[in-house]
Amino acid sequence: MKKILNPTRTEWANVLKRPTQTFDDIEDTVKQIFREIQQEGNKAVKKYTERFDGVKLEDIRVSEEEIEKAQELVSPELKKAIELAKNNIENFHAAQKTERVSLETIEGVQCWQEKRPIQKVGLYIPGGTAPLFSSILMLAIPARIAGCEEVVLCTPPNKKAEIDPAILYTASLCGVKKIFKVGGIQAIGAMSFGTEAIPKVYKIFGPGNQFVTVAKQLATKYEVAIDMPAGPSELLVMADDSANPAYVASDLLSQAEHGTDSQVILVSTSEELLDSVSEEIESQLKQLPRKEIAQKAIMNSKLILVDSNEKAMDLINEYGPEHFILCVQNESFFLDGIANAGSVFIGNYTPESAGDYASGTNHTLPTNGYAKQYSGVNLDSFLKSITFQKISEQGIKNIGPAIELMAEAEGLQAHKNAVSLRLKDLDQNE
């Protein structure tokens, strides 16, 4: 990791630059695949599955037999771990339910707000070098709690036209019935437009590589919502001499192994800690099965020394990390000051891995600086807020004259008339 000592504020933009790639070529590819899926449906989906995943499929839907077989292939120990995580995630997301908000804003004018589930949602689950069955827990559980009527899950098959058993087991455990062997751009396109097999959805959730990210963003042009623009995983750790260097190094590597385009950053007021963590990274990296991936990600990563907590806080908010780990003596300063982060992990015994799997919070989070304006996935992500109002005779008398004046001032006579007719009838009936 590159060590940077006390960068000036004018240097921050360059120091904090993410290893993102240009989307221009990808966008053209996405548009072409989307057009074909619109026109040819399943045929186009199978074509691109064969091209990108190297497998020719007769049926893109996962069968009941495949789901049943997966139950036997997942070890009892893993099933127990998944069940523990499921319970924690259910508990935390169920606690996010809110009651109806109701208020009489003025006598006779009753307004209220209620939440309704998004009826049809699509879940995208990566299944390449790391089949993320944990993402099913993070998406399918709140979808069920919210009451979504239809949940569609797409995940890429391997070369044998199979889906990882843990993905199928977890999907079944969470009550997902419609599972398809489709990944990448073609999965997002299929859920955006619908095909003979895959239903069209109203909102798409889930992480993915740069191709999936661009596809999701373009899907919004076709009346489909997405959870957020989410790209390569990232982590920023703020630590001082109270932190355990081995723990910090392990956290940095846990994100680095996600992909070669991941980025991890360590910010500290202690150069001694930076050096200790750097040594630990080199030592721990040698033991990782995915060390080649992690090594490339580490090349995009930084060790940054700052001379004060205040400067560190400003730098962190400027970066807006997806994951923010805090291992410092003065926790309250950073907890009060953090404005831009997807999820925060506090103390030496709170690894980011806990949020990825089993603590209960959601791991589908904004990346690439979008934590400045987006929240991570939560129960409300699967709900819409609808406002209602009911106005009595007295109510329209109370607010009617104000509406008439405002409508006339905007030059909208029909708006004024809609009130004036009612007020006139009420005056005649008195």
Per-residue pLDDT of the chain (430 residues; tens, 9 = 90+): 899 999 999 999 999 998 865 677 789 999 999 999 999 999 999 999 999 999 999 999 999 999 999 999 999 999 999 999 999 999 999 999 999 999 999 999 999 999 999 999 999 999 866 789 999 999 999 999 999 999 999 999 999 999 999 999 999 999 999 999 999 999 999 999 999 999 999 999 998 888 998 999 999 999 999 999 877 889 999 999 999 999 999 999 999 998 888 899 999 999 999 999 999 999 999 999 999 999 999 988 999 999 999 999 999 999 999 999 999 999 999 999 999 999 999 999 999 999 999 999 999 999 989 999 999 999 999 999 999 999 999 999 999 999 999 999 999 999 999 999 999 999 998 7
In a domain, 382, yes or no: no
Report how far residue 172's alpha carbon sits from residue 166's, in angstroms, rounded to the nearest whole number: 10
Q: Are residues 245 and 220 in the same domain?
A: no
Q: Can you say which residues are annotated as belonging to the binding site?
A: 124, 186, 209, 233, 255, 258, 323, 356, 410, 415
Distance linking the first and last C-alpha atoms of the chain? 81
Taking each helix axis as running N to C, give the angle between helix 291-299 and helix 271-285, from 0 to 180 degrees, rounded to the nearest 10.
Answer: 150
Q: Are residues 327 and 421 in the same domain?
A: no
The overall longest dimension of the chain from CA atoms, in Å, is 88
Q: Can you say which residues are annotated as belonging to the binding site for NAD(+)?
A: 124, 186, 209
Q: Can you say which residues are annotated as belonging to the binding site for substrate?
A: 233, 255, 258, 323, 356, 410, 415
CATH number, position 148 = 3.40.50.1980
Q: Are residues 236 and 223 in the same domain?
A: no
C-alpha distances (whole Å) from 63 to each of 18, 188, 380, 387 are 41, 21, 31, 41
Q: Are residues 371 and 405 in the same domain?
A: no
Domain that includes residue 313, residue range: 231-375
Nearest Cα to Cα of residue 321 among 229, 234, 206, 209: 234
In a domain, 314, yes or no: yes
Q: Which pLDDT score is estimated for 209?
A: 82
Name the burial class of residue 332, with classes exposed (0-12), middle (13-18) and buried (19+) by CB atoms within 10 angstroms of its CB: exposed
Place of tokens 């690894």: 351
In a domain, 11, yes or no: no
Q: Are residues 252 and 218 in the same domain?
A: no
Q: Are residues 351 and 400 in the same domain?
A: no
- One-letter amino acid at 239 equals A
In a domain, 262, yes or no: yes
Phi and psi at residue 156, in whole multiples of 5°? -75, 145
Report how far residue 283's alpha carbon sits from residue 281's, in angstroms, rounded to the nearest whole number: 5
Name the burial class of residue 386, with classes exposed (0-12), middle (13-18) and buried (19+) by CB atoms within 10 angstroms of its CB: exposed
322, 371 Cβ separation under 8 angstroms: yes
Q: Are residues 207 and 254 in the same domain?
A: no
Q: Are residues 241 and 327 in the same domain?
A: yes
Q: Are residues 423 and 329 in the same domain?
A: no
Domain count, the chain: 3
In a domain, 15, yes or no: no
Q: Are residues 67 and 138 in the same domain?
A: yes
Please identify, among 227, 244, 277, the residue that sits at the C-terminal boundary of a domain. Answer: 227
365, 357 Cβ separation under 8 angstroms: no
Q: Can you say which residues are annotated as belonging to the binding site for Zn(2+)?
A: 255, 258, 356, 415
Residue 289: left if φ>0, alpha if ψ -120 to 50, beta else—which one?
alpha
In a domain, 4, yes or no: no
Q: Are residues 313 and 420 in the same domain?
A: no
- One-letter amino acid at 247 equals Y
Q: Are residues 211 and 84 in the same domain?
A: yes
In a domain, 383, yes or no: no
In a domain, 384, yes or no: no
Catalytic positions are 322-323
Please identify, among 212, 227, 242, the residue that sits at the C-terminal boundary of a domain. Answer: 227
